[in-house]
Amino acid sequence: MSDPIARVLEHKGSDVEAIAPDTLVITAVQRMNAKKIGALLVIDKGRPVGIFTERDVLVRVVAAGLDPKTTPVNEVMTRNPVVVRADVTVHEAMFVITQRRCRHLPVLDDNGVCGLISIGDLTSWLVRDQQRTIEDLHDYMTRS
């Protein structure tokens, strides 16, 4: 759990799916479905201005009765999303996700956005880490 988020990004890939603020909700949702992802980073003039998530679709579009074919993402996105630096640990990122009740974290380095981590990415990493620990302990015990 002391691994930095940058290691998780190396493993899962650092490609970030991003959209412009004026993208229509229907287009964003179609892209999320096609890519099998739960969030898109909203970028304006090269910098992140928000994140558009499945939760935004449910709460701010569907429940609000808005038309996804005419509503731009910038009207319903989560503004100023919680972000983490690439050098924070997996443990610290899990703490942020738990405390802030979010499912996705944009990851920043000195050059800007370098990735997007989901709670699923972190959980998978932790499961693999636990499996490695179990295997190491098993190997140690069987050598004795």
CA pair distance 46, 40, nearest whole angstrom: 14
Domains of the chain: 5-143 (3.10.580.10)
**pLDDT at position 13, please?**
86
By DSSP bridging, strand 18-19 and strand 47-53 are: unpaired
- Concatenating the DSSP letter of every residue in 49-64 gives EEEEEHHHIIIIIITT
The token pair that represents 27 in the structure block: 């287009």
| Residues 121 and 12: beta-carbon distance below 8 Å | yes
**pLDDT at position 47, please?**
86
Q: What average pLDDT values come out for the chain (144 residues) when binned by 10 residues?
A: 87 92 99 97 92 98 98 97 95 95 94 93 89 85 81
**Cα angle for residues 46, 52, 53 (degrees, 5° grid):** 145
Burial of 70 by CB count in 10 Å (0-12 exposed, 13-18 middle, 19+ buried)? exposed
**pLDDT at position 115, please?**
95
